[in-house]
Amino acid sequence: MAKRSLSSLSAEDLRGKRVLVRVDFNVPLNENGSISDDTRIRAALPTIKDLMDKGARIILAAHFGRPKGTVNESMRLTPVSKRLSELLAIDVQKTESCIGPDAQEKVQFLNNGEVVLLENVRFFSQEEKNETDFAKQLASLADVYVNDAFGAAHRAHASTEGVTNFLNPCVAGHLMEKELKYLQGAINDPRRPLAAIVGGSKVSSKIGVLETLIDKCDKVLIGGGMVFTFYKARGLSVGKSLVEEDKLDLAKALEAKAESQGVQLLLPDDVLLADDFSADANSQVASIESIPDGWMGLDIGPSSIKAFQQALSDCKTVIWNGPMGVFEFDKFAEGTNAIATTLAQLSANGCCTIIGGGDSVAAVEKAGLASQMSHISTGGGASLELLEGKVLPGVSALDDIK
């Protein structure tokens, strides 16, 4: 069911209203405690600025790290309020706690168009338990609810799901709306041919998404460490490459399913091997039929890169989730970088390219090509679950379009 979004609310609807906005500000910090990547903060700006322009009184709720229900001084949102103040060119106050007297007082004195940031909601164990009383206290600060935290939408927590029982309306923010449009659209109503590129080290973490993608896609390209489980299932020698022994039957079943449904399932035909898991390991290219003992595969090979590029050349929609190799080591990043470059070229020719969260996003950013993709998802687990066709609690709790 399509969800109502912030776009449906006018200045007349929002002026003077207290709006609780769930955002994803779980940003990385460097050793000095400063934010090293503010992408997630910037991603929420369109929603925050829209609410400011419409005269709302904005209350931001976010989590940071995993404090496990207790106050952790290193996980306070102080650096976030500082960065947000810089980006918005206003003073964004932070509360001492997300509920209680200080939060109530700071919200009470908000003027139209002003912003306050609630302290880390995960300092309370009731947040992740989605306890009703806690959700009610959080909701009592506001009149309207906006969820713009796609990265946390697969969790039924108090700030993502519980509060919707006490606030009305409950709508998707601009970032959430964009995520749903691209990810659901790619699966449910894509321009074809539709291809999915799935990488990463383990088949087990991508089982659900692989099964769904084989049902939905015209082509599925598989890279990363998980390919060796497929090779082992075929009876090939894989040296000391990563293999999930308990997933061999699953790998066979996935290949059989693709064949029976007429889906092109493409695995690399050559790999870049290393004699050690390190950035400066000795390396050699080998076909998948001749991987020597004592060597491990850390990237797809040059022949595979060409085959993958050829398979993608006529596609109108491409979803990418997971790197082709250990891209953190420059020596073993060529496959991942080649896919990123290919998708950027496809985007320029009108293909819809969707980077589905996690390491793929880091790889595209490292290659300096993020701005050339159609959509880069801000959610790792949430992206995967949506692509699997699962219902995300933080989305289902929002108002349906009537």
Q: Which of 358, 366, 379, 394 is catalytic?
A: 358
Distance in angstroms (rounded) separating the CA atoms of residues 199 and 177:
26
Residue 247 CB partners (closer than 8 Å, separation 6+)? 203, 204, 207, 229
Please report how many Cα atoms fall inside a 13 Å half-sphere around the Cα of residue 300, on the Cβ side: 31
Distance in angstroms (rounded) separating the CA atoms of residues 112 and 245:
59
User: Under DSSP, is residue 290 helix (H, G, I), strand (E, B) or coil?
Assistant: coil
Q: What is the 3-state composition of the chain as percent helix, strand, coil, each rounded to the nearest 5?
A: 40, 15, 40
Q: Is 358 one of the catalytic residues?
A: yes
Q: Which of 202, 257, 331, 390 is catalytic?
A: 202
Question: Can you say how many angstroms the Cα of residue 4 is from the centroid of all Cα atoms in its chain?
Answer: 21
Q: Which of 18, 22, 40, 94 is catalytic?
A: 40
Per-residue tokens: 146: 């906006």
Q: Which of 69, 185, 381, 389 is catalytic?
A: 381
Please report how many Cα atoms fall inside a 13 Å half-sphere around the Cα of residue 201, on the Cβ side: 8
Distance in angstroms (rounded) separating the CA atoms of residues 379 and 131:
24
Q: Is 381 one of the catalytic residues?
A: yes
Cα 201-206-212 angle, rounded to 5 deg: 150
Distance in angstroms (rounded) separating the CA atoms of residues 362 and 345:
19
Please report how many Cα atoms fall inside a 13 Å half-sphere around the Cα of residue 352, on the Cβ side: 19
Cα 54-58-63 angle, rounded to 5 deg: 140
Distance in angstroms (rounded) separating the CA atoms of residues 343 and 314:
12
Q: Cβ(316)–Cβ(283) under 8 Å?
A: no
Q: Is 33 one of the catalytic residues?
A: no
In the block, tokens 């790889």 appear at 363
Q: Can you list the alpha helix ranges (DSSP code H) found in 89-238?
A: 101-108, 125-129, 132-139, 174-188, 207-216, 227-233
* Residue 89 Ramachandran class (φ > 0 left, ψ -120 to 50 alpha, else beta): left
Q: Is 40 one of the catalytic residues?
A: yes
Query: CB 9: neighbour CB atoms within 10 A?
Result: 20
List residues with catalytic annotation: 40, 202, 358, 381
